[in-house]
Structure 1
């Protein structure tokens, strides 16, 4: 997809007047036969057709509909017009059926069955920038997650990144929860750093990518320098992440309704319960600001009902106030599960964010 379309609909549209982008599509749709909507039987086509119909009811540049809805409609219309329509927004059922390509290697970082990395090897000569992926699944093993991010991992490797996808113990597994799940992430990152010579890694360019629960964990990993000294998770020399990217992030464990609504779990399992003093200071990214990373990117689909775009608003504002560089991207017509699909509208802005972060 052309970069100008991504900029308009992935990054800038909510900071500028939508009317600036209505005119070309509006004029095409005023022809009467909906030329921008001729292709596709997917929901993208339905969105596009609706968009054209709404534009026919109003003169160009005088469309009065909510910004987020308008953005989604126009985005879908342009996708169809350019021959790039995609399937209906991915559902949980579709997500559970996802299965990406196998990794090149499985590397254990502990003794438990869930303590391993999947390594996707890049071609060419290093040193290679690194992408670390932490899958989601509501911190629960039952929802999987590793196989769903495998396609994404392979595509990053094809772009020249050494990719390590972390499996870890969920709160529904022995040893998972607090502090075990966090210990797993820390141990996995330590294992990656020890592969520097073997895999010819540039450890100064590690980009962390996490989805949903995995976004909380990758943001946590970037805040380990803020860990209280008396925390069982304290590490005097944590692996540093050059940038972190949260897809459909749940960054505030103190927001009990958000965690329960998203996953149906009690957040106490993730921070050790209310009996611990300052329990959020070593677990919740929102309580660990500023994060020790050069860049934070937060990407949400506009149709994400697990972690709606507004779920990261407070965290983004607080992180900026504490000195972090934060970029927020909302992708129209994308669901929570589209955020890990390489065939969804999220893939292009995600890939661009990873490449930009590694090149800074």
Structure 2
């Protein structure tokens, strides 16, 4: 029987996750931290990734499916939302005392806005640029890899795209302002501006995605590769935004194969 347990990593109502362990018994499981999307807004929650979590459990992975404070909740935004993600990942150290999870084999996986947070967390492990601020937490658990599923990897580009379309950008709400008046914070919060990561990354993008443009993912990948990051870029011509979190799609099969190969390397 698959174990699924709700556990709080903090005191706020949204500072919790579900630890999901496979039915197959092992001494320790490779553990995947999953971070859901929804453009950082409170209408979306971790149930977005429940089907994917079930699929990962069936493949023998433990999954720590995390929630975090989103726009509309007290303390959300920069840097609260970001610190929640770091705290949730660091909480694996505590979980390892009671559950059979392997802290030496952790994967961070995020979709859309969750992909942004996954990349940012991976970059936070080694990056020194944010250490000047006592308000930004540091990642203490080293990930084996980061898997980005249609990540919002360049915050300023996402804000600009919304602005050109005449839309209010959720990036403005996340950051508490625009790149025009919060430029330093944008640079601290945008994965593109914090490269290199020095951790293997799998970047997955559907070319029929209406939410996150493929050009953003390609631009991020090109910069990361120039800075000698190990990047595997998966571009699927038939996949849309949500095919990437459906464990029954072709693009997900490509993703899981890439993850297995990266773990072997």
User: TM-score, structure 2 length as denominator?
Assistant: 0.88
* Kept in 1: contact 2:205–2:235 (CA 8 A): yes
Q: Deviations over 1:67-107 (max 9, x none)?
A: xxxxxxxxxxxxxxxxxxxxxxxxxxxxxxxxxxx971111
Of the three residues 113, 127, 133, the one matched with 2:34 is 133
Residue 153 of structure 1 corresponds to 53
Whether 1:310 aligns to 2:210 is no
Query: After superposition, where does 1:4-15 map in structure 2 within 5 Å?
Result: none
Q: What SS does the corresponding residue of 1:194 show, helix, strand or coil?
A: helix
Whether 1:257 aligns to 2:160 is yes
More divergent stretch after superposition (344-353 vs 247-256): 344-353
Whether 1:288 aligns to 2:194 is yes
Q: Deviation at 1:111?
A: 1.8
Query: After superposition, where does 1:1-360 map in structure 2 within 5 Å?
Result: 104-122=4-22, 123-142=24-43, 144-224=44-124, 225-226=126-127, 227-235=129-137, 238-255=140-157, 256-258=159-161, 264-273=168-177, 275-276=181-182, 278-293=184-199, 295-360=200-265
Q: Which protein has the larger Cα radius of gyration, Structure 1 or Structure 2?
A: 1
* Kept in 2: contact 1:114–1:169 (CA 8 A): yes
When the two chains are superposed, the root-mean-square deviation of aligned CA atoms in Å is 2.1
Q: Deviation at 1:125?
A: 1.2
d(CA) in 1 for partners of 2:116, 2:168: 16
Q: Deviation at 1:282?
A: 2.4
Structure 1 gap ranges (5+):
1-101
Q: What SS does the corresponding residue of 1:187 show, helix, strand or coil?
A: helix
User: TM-score, structure 1 length as denominator?
Assistant: 0.66
d(CA) in 1 for partners of 2:174, 2:123: 16
Q: Cα–Cα, structure 1 residues 345 and 145, in superposed 2: closer, same or farther, change >3 Å?
A: farther
d(CA) in 1 for partners of 2:225, 2:238: 27
Q: Deviation at 1:337?
A: 1.3
d(CA) in 2 for partners of 1:154, 1:266: 29
Q: What SS does the corresponding residue of 2:186 show, helix, strand or coil?
A: coil
Structure 2 gap ranges (5+):
none
d(CA) in 2 for partners of 1:321, 1:139: 29
Q: Deviation at 1:231?
A: 2.2
Q: What SS does the corresponding residue of 1:279 show, helix, strand or coil?
A: helix
* Kept in 2: contact 1:213–1:250 (CA 8 A): yes
Q: What SS does the corresponding residue of 2:250 show, helix, strand or coil?
A: coil
d(CA) in 1 for partners of 2:3, 2:144: 24
Structure 1 residue runs of 4 or more that deviate by more than 6 Å after TM superposition: none
Q: Cα–Cα, structure 1 residues 172 and 292, in superposed 2: closer, same or farther, change >3 Å?
A: farther
Q: Deviation at 1:206?
A: 0.9
d(CA) in 2 for partners of 1:309, 1:191: 33
Residue 5 of structure 1 corresponds to none
Q: Deviation at 1:189?
A: 0.8
Q: Cα–Cα, structure 1 residues 126 and 137, in superposed 2: closer, same or farther, change >3 Å?
A: same
Q: Deviations over 1:119-147 (max 9, x none)?
A: 111221122111110000011111x2411
Aligned length: 256
Q: Cα–Cα, structure 1 residues 266 and 162, in superposed 2: closer, same or farther, change >3 Å?
A: closer
